[in-house]
Amino acid sequence: MAIVKITSALAGSPLLFAAPVINQLSALLTDCNHGYRVSGGYVKQGSLWNLGGAMFMANSDTAITGTRSDATTGIKFTVSGDAATVSYGTDAVTWIGSQQGFYDAGNNFYYCGGMIPGDLPLYNGELSLVITAALAPITYTKKYAYKISKTGIYRVKIGVTGSIYGGNPRHTGYALIYINDNAVGTELTNTFGTIVYQTKDIFCEENDEIELYFKSSSDDYYGYTDFSLYANIYSGSTYGRVS
């Protein structure tokens, strides 16, 4: 099963001639109350897509191929004949007003969702003391999590300190962005007592959980982590990664 074009052969009879229109109206009725278009690594069954001016429908939950990372810019639709495949893409995209969508240089449609990186705090500045003593997570352990309700690109800011004793660096602190318990960011490390930050723009799907994971280089750690999440609702044709 796949994402297929909604079409029908034309004929001279008025009834047959109207068949493509009837098929498309039926598809629109199916999609008008859609909930999730994309969730859990799938384009959801029944969702409609305008791909280069043609109507396509997912006739089943269709898996998105590839692996998400901090370079993902959206979900790429690649049309071949009357079917389309979907993958996590990393290309730069441009808004095409006549198609009301984002397309890459190869004219492939990108679904980027409705959120863009911005300064609206969704989960802001949770600075937390980590005292591990003999119970340190020397392997990555989840510290924070935020449930995503709308597909889009979110700005994630994480911070971490090293562990300081007597004014001297002692142990290294590590922090990493995860989605659904899978790493997507670049590891942030710090040996010193002053917190350092990393900001990434991360593509998320509805129902994703975006997370901060932490570990230290030793089971004797005293330091801090920080986690913030920002976005703006998409309201125009300006979109995409800004850093």
Position 24 in a domain: yes
Q: Are residues 67 and 164 in the same domain?
A: no
Together in a domain, 84 and 130: no
Considering only CA atoms, which of 167, 151, 170, 173 is closest in space to residue 226?
173
CA 31 vs CA 56, 112, 113: distances in Å = 11, 19, 17
What distance in Å separates the CA atoms of residue 83 and residue 206, rounded to the nearest whole number? 24
Q: Is residue 239 part of a domain?
A: no
Q: Please report which confidence band the pLDDT of residue 180 belongs to, taking 50, 70 and 90 as the band edges.
A: very high
Alpha carbon 42 to its chain's center: 12
Distance CA 38, CA 111 (A): 9
pLDDT of residue 25: 63
pLDDT of the residue at 162: 86
Q: What is the pLDDT of residue 3?
A: 84
Q: State the total domains in the chain.
A: 2
Q: Residue 48: enclosing H or E segment and its boundaries? A: strand 48-51
| Measured torsion, CA atoms of residues 230, 233, 239, 243, in degrees rounded to the nearest 10 | -10
> Do residues 95 and 193 both lie within one domain?
no
Question: Residue 213 in contact with residue 105, Cβ under 8 Å?
Answer: no
Between 236 and 155, where is the model more confident? 155
Instruction: Let me know: does 192 contact 236? Beta carbons within 8 Å.
Output: no
For 10-24, 83-97, 195-209, which range has the lowest pLDDT when averaged over its residues? 10-24
Q: What angle do CA 19, 20, 22 make, to 5 degrees?
A: 65
d(CA 115, CA 235): 9
Q: Which of 161, 223, 162, 156 is nearest to 186 (CA)?
A: 156
What pLDDT, on the 0 to 100 scale, is given for residue 135? 55
Residue type, 236: G
31 & 139 share domain: no
**210 and 127 fall within a common domain:** yes
pLDDT at residue 34, as a whole number: 53
Flag whether pLDDT at 149 surpasses 60. yes
pLDDT of 8 strictly over 80: no
Q: What is the mean pLDDT of the chain?
A: 80
Cβ atoms of residues 36 and 206 within 8 Å: yes
Give the best-scoring range by mean pLDDT among 8-12, 167-171, 200-204: 200-204
Give domain status of residue 242, yes or no.
Answer: no
- Are the C-beta atoms of 226 and 127 separated by less than 8 Å? yes
How far is C-alpha 169 from the geometric centre of its chain's CA atoms? 36
Domain boundary among 111, 127, 149: 111
Residue-range definition of the domain harbouring residue 146: 117-233
Percentage of the chain modeled with pLDDT above 90:
35
From CA 167, how far away is CA 188, in angstroms rounded?
Answer: 22
Residue 176 domain-assigned?
Answer: yes
Q: What are the pLDDT digits (tens) for 36-71?
A: 789 899 999 988 888 888 888 899 999 999 999 989
Rounded CA separation 212/118 (Å): 19
Average pLDDT over residues 146-161: 90
Amino acid 196: pLDDT: 92
Same-domain pairing of 107 and 127: no
Task: State whether residue 25 is helix, strand or coil.
Answer: helix
17-29 confidence digits (pLDDT tens): 566 665 666 556 4
Same domain for 168 and 137: yes
